[in-house]
Structure 1
Amino acid sequence: MNGRNQTSVSEFLLLGFSDQPEQQKFLFGIFLWMYMVTIIGNLLIVLAIISDAHLHTPMYLFIANLSFSDVCFISTSIPKMLANIQRQNKAISYAECLTQMYFLFLFATMDNFILAMMAYDRYVAICFPLYYSTIMSPRFCLLIFLLAFLVAQFYSLLHTSLLTKLSFCGDNQISHIFCEIYALLTLSCSTTHLNEIIIYTLGTALFLSSLSFILVSYVHIISAVLKVPSVSGRWKAFSTCSSHLSVVILFYGTLVAVYLRPSSTHTVKDSVATVMYAVVTPMLNPFIYSLKNQDIKQALRRIINQTSTKMFCSSTEVSLSLGPKF
């Protein structure tokens, strides 16, 4: 194979979960509901953190960035799926597929790095509380965000550029709701060894290094917390980490189950696991943080109360303006 793009397939077919019209309607409804819950939930978290000056700390800014990244991540795949079901057309063009793949890698990698940043933030806050503001300075936070974004960009562009070198000259059916990397590799009539090597080496290094960093951080956190004399103090310290740990388990558990094994072993059933990390995880994240974090709960209540008050005042003004005039 030469270095030129030998692609002869102009589009792919996203088969999804079912071809039955009744099931298609159900899938459209459930995925639309999940998408709306994800968008509203995550944007409320972002709005609550931005609008409350008390939440302008590194920990909450990391949460806001994770929520924003989740909004972008799920918006990369679900709207296209819903549009295809509505039009009863499973097609996605070659260019759209590569674009979707690029952004999926970008935001998944960003989620990976943000979770590692959040673990480091909790480590510094619990193990070095007196130096927290010095270590987690705005300049340092901006620097690590920029570095994470650049690495995520490089990783996404690398995968996308390697995919453009592959030939797709036969089957174009993808048994997923979006363009999934392993599904594309199995469809290629070119050798995919280099693509798989990148996934198993660089991909594993990026994601497992972040996971290892998180685990090491929590080993130090647990060690420091166990030295706290009061039970209430230990419980308070652990409670600040429980939300993050829940998200870490959900994110990495599904990710490892799908991607840390050869592409030849993947089956249609893996599309369910893919939906878990691509759809369910972004949807559950805002609930995990809002239910377990009192500060975010209070900020959300203030937003809801302010919105209700404004709506009540607006409706009252309209009623008065439309009332009888003497």
Structure 2
Amino acid sequence: MPAVPPEASARREMAAVEQAGGRYLAIGQGLYPKALAETDGAPPLLIVRGDLRLLDRRMVGMVGARNASAAACRFARSLAHDLGREGLVVVSGLARGIDAAAHDGAMESGTIGCAAGGIDIFYPPENEARQRRMAETGLVVSECPPGYEPRARDFPRRNRIIAGLSEGIVVIEAAPRSGSLITARLAAEMGREVMAVPGSPLDPRAQGCNGLIRDGATLVQNAADVVEALRPALGEVRSGRDLFSFEAPPADTSAEPDQSDRDRVQELLGPSPAPVDEIVRLSGLEPGAVQLVLLELDLAGKLDRHAGGKVSLR
């Protein structure tokens, strides 16, 4: 068993947590995330800073390459934004590349950053502004004491927290034997849904995702694919904006479609596949509203989805 620290050391750490604006969550107590508590090797103590209400909502992890392509970062940002509109909290690892894009996309709806070091350590350094904002509007989580600088061995430990918090994991651009694939493996071992975004076989950064799909991971092209994959965990389908039984965030209701919006989108659809971006442009509606109408049509069996982000009426 690990040695029990002296009382003076524990009190110094507690004072540092308070000074950093954080608090402790202990396993077995009400505020500790239930999904994480049920995993093997869950941290006995978490140090958190930010909005604890996010821990009561459904979460999905997004991970990927630190040296991600511009197209993948754009996709991750857009996907995280759309998942936030669907009421899901996006969890990621505060790294460069895909992690940063996912946090940025979900910043308004709620995002959780799992740090490999202390909650007062900004790693990488360019994350400082992002992490400070997340501590105000989202949540930063760590199992390490304040002042702790992350080392290589700490990142796989951080990955198990991402997997443990989440209903499922979406991987976007990941090379073989990457940290993102470690997260996916941990998620699978925990019984979570593993999803991956396909990429070009010519890009080494896509080999990990393509391999996951070959081995049975769910192929993801948009937020509707993620929601569909998580449906068994999220509850029964209902109707309208409240499509699933998880709590929706206090979102911008201006993007909520009314019947005229639904009619406008459906008029733009036909038997020939059309890009979703073009439907958004021609309809003049918010992208989130268009995605909601498309999801309703999909669930009603009236929509076909095609490669390249195109859709058609069935």
| TM-score between both structures, scaled by the size of structure 2 | 0.24
- More helix by percentage: 1
| TM-score between both structures, scaled by the size of structure 1 | 0.23
User: Which of 1 and 2 has greater Rg?
Assistant: 1
- More strand by percentage: 2
